[in-house]
Structure 1
Amino acid sequence: MAERRPRLLYLAFYFPPSRASGVYRPRATANLLVERGWDVTVFAAPLPFLRDAIGSFDEKLLDSVDPRVAVERPYLNLFAWEKNLRGYSRFRGTFPELARSAYDWGQRHVFPENYASWARASVRKALRMHMRRRFDVVLATGNPFASFAAAWLFHKLTRTPYILDNRDAWTLDLFNEEPAFEDGHPAYAWEKRVLKSAANVVFVNEALRGWHAERYPRVADRMLVVPNGWDSDTLPSTVEPPAKILDGREERRPRFSYVGTLTGKQPIEAMIDGFDRAREHPDLSGAVLDLHGYMGFFRGADSKLRKRIAAVQEKEDGDGPEAGAREDAGPEADEQELAPGVRYRGPASKTELHEVYRDSDVLVFLAGGARYVTSGKIFEYMAAGRPIVSVHAPGSAAEEVLRDYPLWFNPDGLEPRAIAGSMVAAAKAAAGLDQRQIDAARAYAQRFERSVSLEPLVRRLTELAAR
């Protein structure tokens, strides 16, 4: 008789085809576990929510999920996102104020998050599936943190052990480094409750683990650090140096690249200003900075970001017709010049990233926050084996990872002239880059390949399932 495979319930709201920044860790974890012989069922966000409510949808990501991973999409009440009166329920349409009061009461007294209905639906569905064939362990990732509440309630009802994976922080504002809620907010009571019963609590860096360990000392011995990583299925084993000859010239103009979603939390102005100053150097006068990715995670975010970029140029050049023309460019255009030498290239599919890295001389690591923010993109940057220029506040958690990377150029802050100096130095290093240097960089990055970085989590899940 065939040996029974360990069975995992994975509560991962943001899972392909979502394009949220945290989607890659759950995708990689689910794929790795089924490869190791697990039976994995993922509970994820409903497709109408991703496609219609928030406009965060990447169809190509679905192709990167192992077909052996079963994906369920429990119900989510779209009350908080529904803007069309025709989409209102009969009760809400008839009694809008009463419906709002009832919804707000639930936020204050039941669970303080708009995803509470998804958590309830997840528990109901999980119980039905568990009765037919039991789950051995639950893994819940946040945000949203309704997944933590669902894991806790399922545990209370079935005694199934669960692990909480904090891709984010619930009660800590990572970017302002202060409490995310006012004193007495129900999120604090819920966080204490779900952590108390967890078999383990996972964080992506030591700073986050330390903050939570100090706040919840009785859970500290069950806290683990499992860093993010890069995905070998979307990057080739080698990324050769970019060609040195273009259009018949001996040296092509240096190409800087930023890869990832642009958000309002990032120091975009410092990057644009620093790059503009770097172009004053004679060797970089023709340099370009390509921005690959979405502008914001949600619909409507791109216009705000374009205004911020345009404002940098208005400050340096004065108001003029050119800045207005850049701002008016449609959000879906394949390529737009946002500032001199700065081109928005649009989203790059995960399956096409190797081409972006292959054609880049220098990678710009733009990140918001500081000591609690690592950013998953930095691991992919290192795996590409390119010079990396940091553009983030000093003391970022990413510095722990980058410190031993041989091609890191750190301006030690956000002063534009220092950023420009690092960009010039990185471009010079890129001009002489050879395969030996790339191999050394990638050898360091190899320790963060997903199957390596996720090993402590896989090992602990296996231990719990064996019980």
Structure 2
Amino acid sequence: MNKKKVLIITYYWPPAGGPGVQRWLKFVKYLPEFNVEPIVFIPENPNYPLIDNSLKSEVSDDITIIKYPIKEPYRVAGILSKKSSQTMSKGVISEEKKQSFIEKFMLFIRGNFFIPDARISWVKPSANVLLEIIEKEKIDTLITTGPPHSVHLIGLRLKEKRGLRWLADFRDPWTSIGYHKQLRITKNAERKHKKLENCVLNSADQLLVTSNNTKSEFRKITNRPIEVITNGYDDEPVIDFEKDKKFTIAHIGSLLSKRNPMNLWKALSELVKENHEFAKDLQIRFVGVVGENILESLRDLNLSDYFDDIGYVSHNQSIMYQKKSQLLLLIEIDSEETKSIIPGKLFEYMVSGRPIISIGPKDTDVEKIIKETNTGNHFYYDDYESLKSIILEHYKAFKNDELETYPIGLQKYHRKSLTHSLSKLL
């Protein structure tokens, strides 16, 4: 039986690092097992904020990869301020009161002149090239994945020109994403963003989202079919590691300025003061980009001597740090907009064998998944005593060499199981 050819358009692809690359890298890995031949279209010369060359090994030589040049405005922005352009491209936006004039100016330009995002110049030329490829390869199904949501505009053009079946995948929401409000968007620009979002949501044949909250949000805009396919975990190479001797509480990935759980830092500060053994064993480890205000909070609470700032590492190394640690932190901004966000690392956390301490808003998909799988505890930003109590409980288990998790129902979040769900839609 001939395999069904599917064109997948994505901005993020190895050697891109960070969470944005994982979803479709894994789908592409497993789709051939379900009689689907993926053809992947990516930028030839992207300006990826994070690089992880180890991910290249996960791309099979049998997969057709088509590359096309892109003009990256962040390279030009670097002339004004290299530091600001680099941090913005990583999604790091300073607190408003700490923003320089240059950063404010760059945010205004980004939000009002690059709609929906800084990769908009890739849309028209890519669509023109892909029309020929679609004809040549006899492709009748198209998938676009965002952010950047400008990738969906390529899908929109191809849909209009060729009438393909189009699946639009949203790893994150569009206009309701947390940082959207920080881009100093004018009312006119906001209308343009909303119009494009509405057009994509009502033109695609099938919408894919990563959370039930996003599905509920989009359902207010469109009647198109919406399927929830979360991110997940994959089988990882066997890593030689030894668990930390210290009581390590680790956060893996970017911990940006608004993700600053003061209740957690205060609880740890109190435990340090009250318990000499706890103070001797505590280690707070950050693996990834950390906002300066978070480091300031730790200094203010006399926790500076306890934190270990590793910085960005490869995906394989991040898995190692997860397994080495005693507790894993999952922190989300306390806002209505972040209820639909399920960080990709949650699923890797769940199979690490280490208890999760999650802090975020109420009624999130994250809270439901953690409870359903018995992999940790979710707390709100106004929780204090219960958070402190759980940390102490985990510490006592650590001292008795009994700190384990007993997860249930994880198999449905395996990348192969999720790809099977995707294949049914194709």
Does the alignment reach a TM-score above 0.5?
Answer: yes
Q: Which of 15, 21, 29 is the aligned partner of 2:19?
A: 21
Map of 2:85 onto structure 1: none
1:301-312 paired onto structure 2 within 5 Å: 305=291, 307-312=292-297
1:402, CA displacement in angstroms? 0.6
Map of 1:196 onto structure 2: 202
1:4 is paired with a residue whose SS is: coil
Structure 1 position 403 matched with structure 2 position 374:
no
2:72 is paired with a residue whose SS is: coil
Relative to the length of structure 2, the TM-score reads 0.81
Map of 1:368 onto structure 2: 333
Q: Structure 1 residues 57 and 269, CA, compared in 2 at 3 Å: closer, same or farther? A: farther
Equivalent position amino acid for 1:203 in 2: V
1:31 is paired with a residue whose SS is: helix
Q: Which of 109, 123, 126 is the aligned partner of 2:127?
A: 123
Map of 1:225 onto structure 2: 228
Q: Which of 41, 44, 55 is the aligned partner of 1:43?
A: 41
Cα distance in structure 2, aligned partners of 1:215 and 1:115 = 24
Equivalent position amino acid for 2:72 in 1: L
Q: Structure 1 residues 57 and 188, CA, compared in 2 at 3 Å: closer, same or farther? A: same
1:380, CA displacement in angstroms? 0.9
Conservation of the 8 A alpha-carbon contact between 2:17 and 2:315? no
Conservation of the 8 A alpha-carbon contact between 2:15 and 2:51? yes
1:260, CA displacement in angstroms? 1.7
Relative to the length of structure 1, the TM-score reads 0.74
1:42, CA displacement in angstroms? 1.7
Q: Which of 161, 164, 169 is the aligned partner of 2:168?
A: 164
Cα distance in structure 2, aligned partners of 1:454 and 1:35 = 9
1:434, CA displacement in angstroms? 5.7
Map of 1:272 onto structure 2: 265
Per-residue displacement from partner, 1:382-407 (whole Å, max 9, x unpaired)?
11121111222333320010112334
Structure 1 position 139 matched with structure 2 position 138:
no
Cα distance in structure 1, aligned partners of 2:418 and 2:51 = 27
1:409 is paired with a residue whose SS is: strand
1:238-317 paired onto structure 2 within 5 Å: 252-267=245-260, 269-279=262-272, 280-295=274-289, 305=291, 307-317=292-302
RMSD of aligned C-alpha atoms?
3.4
Cα distance in structure 1, aligned partners of 2:205 and 2:392 = 49
Structure 2: 5+ residue stretches without partners? 81-108
Conservation of the 8 A alpha-carbon contact between 2:158 and 2:164? yes
1:444 is paired with a residue whose SS is: coil
Map of 1:377 onto structure 2: 345
1:140, CA displacement in angstroms? 0.7
1:276, CA displacement in angstroms? 2.7
Q: Structure 1 residues 455 and 416, CA, compared in 2 at 3 Å: closer, same or farther? A: same
1:165 is paired with a residue whose SS is: strand
Q: Structure 1 residues 313 and 84, CA, compared in 2 at 3 Å: closer, same or farther? A: closer
Q: Which of 387, 403, 406 is the aligned partner of 1:419?
A: 387
Cα distance in structure 2, aligned partners of 1:368 and 1:416 = 17
Q: Structure 1 residues 154 and 408, CA, compared in 2 at 3 Å: closer, same or farther? A: same
Cα distance in structure 1, aligned partners of 2:358 and 2:230 = 19
Structure whose alpha-carbon radius of gyration is higher = 1
Conservation of the 8 A alpha-carbon contact between 1:258 and 1:364? yes
